[in-house]
Amino acid sequence: MNLSFLSLPFAMQLLYALPLLIVPYLLRKHQREVIVPALFLYQGLPAASRQRLWGRPQITPLFFLQLLILLLLIAAAARPFLHQPGSKVALVLDTSASMQAQAPNGSGSVFDLAKRQILQALDTIPASDMIGLFVTTPFPTPISASGEDRSRLPWLLSQTLVTDAPDPSDDVLSAFFSQLFGEQGFQHIFFFTDRSLAAPVNTNALTVVTLGGPQTNFGIASFRLYRSPFVPGEVDATVAVTGADGPGNWTVSIEDANTGKQLAARTFTKEEAGEFSFSHLPLTTMYRARLQVQDGLALDNEAYAVLPLLTQVPVLLVTPSPHVARSLEGIPNLKLERIAPQEYTPAKAVQFAFVLFHLTAPDTLPPTNAAFLLPPEGNTLFTLGKTTSRVQVTQWVTAHPLTSYMTFSLFSPAYAQALQPTGWCQPVVSATVGPIVLAGEQEGRRYVATGFDVLPYLGKKNLPVSIFTLNLLGWLAAQVGQPPSLKTGTSLPLAEASATVRSPDGEVAAPTGGMVILRKQGVYTISEYGVERRVAVNLANEQESRLARPLRLHPLTAPAPIAPETAGRPLWPWLLLGALLLLALDRWLGARPRTRNRSVAVEAAT
């Protein structure tokens, strides 16, 4: 080790400081009282009678003490440090959700195994090396300073928790490693993860310590609730399951997240991985989908959803029959406005969630979702086919929302006319005369056409047609009021600076920059402007559910040469502390003679 300085050369700084010592001394030698800044530094010099310039100085020991104090302050300003022969080493710990997978030997999780590996690595790294500790999720972050005392690193490591967030992308990891090598001057990086390099990188300064290994794993890729605004009591759900090569049978269940009570369940085989539907779920505020299967990662076997809030849906009814509008007034959350066909304009249509064209049709598709109920002869949108007064349904698409809860053996409108499919729609329900329900999407908008009349709405008096009408309205509403799906690792923006957020484990999450990072899976509670709302946050990441997937890094920047200021141990804090201690000693010693002199003066006066 050798001593170095980051500021001006030490000798030059000392040369600049000598006048601060000499000038006050000379002034004190030629007059008894001189006012100078920081006079206390010169109180140890005795008052002398006038002498010639080159007279013998009378210096007390306090002078040398004060000189030492000044030299320590100058040395501290120069910011010296001790060179160390070691380099900088970065220990990067993968804290992504897949690290919660079971360890191969059954001793805890892969994350626990990674922590033990880091502790072993700390014992093998030379004591002269400086160590920095980092985590990767939700984004790469240091959890210790590069000059952190090594004895604190095990404690910092013990406080580090795994998150429910997915890995940052391989591009982000590549950029992070290049930054550690380039800007931060690390000479070696150890990355502890459950992933393995797909191909060697262009430097030996990166060591990827792969823990765990490939395991059979299933996961819930998405969990969605559907609640039609027009049938508030009906809740449906879809659960998408991803994975392969699992056990022969597994079960998907829907539970009340508040109580854990099971609401519905279905059993499948491994060949049936895909999306599954659950109908007629009981009403509750929070739902949990659970995948009951023995696999490598338990976290992705759960997902949460919050019951959607319902609001009124503005709907435009274009019809030549005014009386049919009154029949729709009994449907909940339907805010209806009726106009005559000649009053319709595309500009008016965009103000509504969707438009119902009853016994009429525009010349072009409207700029919003729309239904065409029994379009008239000669319309420009649909080609009409045969008619019948004895409707008998022969075929329907079972997976389409328009056919949910339908019993077509009881479905018997009084009149129907076949519709010829066009390029943007396909038959959903067909009868003996041909397709009588067409549906499709065009430029992100939903359209449906029926060859029979669903108005007036009769409710329970004509239950099959009423169920179809509610399905039609719900599909056109396109899940109005559904909360957006949130993913772990993303940020939730807050509308109010003083908003409070409670995480799924009940702890209050501290907002940063007007947002909260979603580190855990579950239901968050947000209080803003006196209103409380809940949002569901899920991992729902198919890539993260692929355990031990390959790590593909870009070419990395070679490590930068070791800089002295980054490889040395700073000494200026100790020099400053020594100066302060000596200054306190100087004040104490300087006060003692004055106390004795005052005592002598008092005795002489008496």
Rg (CA), the chain: 39
List phi, psi (to 5°) of 144: -150, 150
Contact assessment for residue 148 and residue 569, using Cβ atoms and an 8 Å cutoff: no
Tell me the C-alpha distance between 576 and 584, whole Å.
13
Identify which of 108, 162, 240 has the alpha carbon closest to the alpha carbon of residue 521.
Answer: 162
Tell me the C-alpha distance between 381 and 384, whole Å.
10
Map residue 342 onto helix, strand or coil. Answer: helix
pLDDT value of position 56: 62
Q: What is the 3-state secondary structure (H, E, C) of 538-596?
A: ECCCCCCCCCCCEECCCCCCCCCCCCHHHHCEECHHHHHHHHHHHHHHHHHHHHHHHHH
Q: What is the 3-state secondary structure (H, E, C) of 233-281?
A: CCEEEEEEEEECCCCCEEEEEEEECCCCCEEEEEEEEHHHCCEEEEEEE
Q: What is the dihedral of CA 385, 389, 395, 397, to 10 degrees?
A: 80
pLDDT value of position 451: 95
Tell me the C-alpha distance between 189 and 207, whole Å.
6
pTM of the model: 0.71
pLDDT value of position 456: 92
Maximum pairwise Cα distance, the chain: 135
pLDDT value of position 274: 81
> What is the helix (H) or strand (E) element at residue 90, kind and residue range?
strand 88-93
pLDDT value of position 6: 46
Angle subtended by helix axes 10-30 and 61-77, to nearest 10: 150
pLDDT value of position 201: 86
pLDDT value of position 48: 47
Give the residues across from 155 on adjacent strands: none
379: left (phi over 0), alpha (psi -120 to 50) or beta: beta
Contact assessment for residue 541 and residue 96, using Cβ atoms and an 8 Å cutoff: no
Tell me the C-alpha distance between 83 and 77, whole Å.
18
pLDDT value of position 54: 58
How many alpha carbons lie under 13 Å from residue 245 in its C-beta half-sphere? 7
Residue spans of the chain under pLDDT 50: 1, 5-16, 23, 25-37, 48-50, 480-481, 565-567, 595, 600-602, 604-606
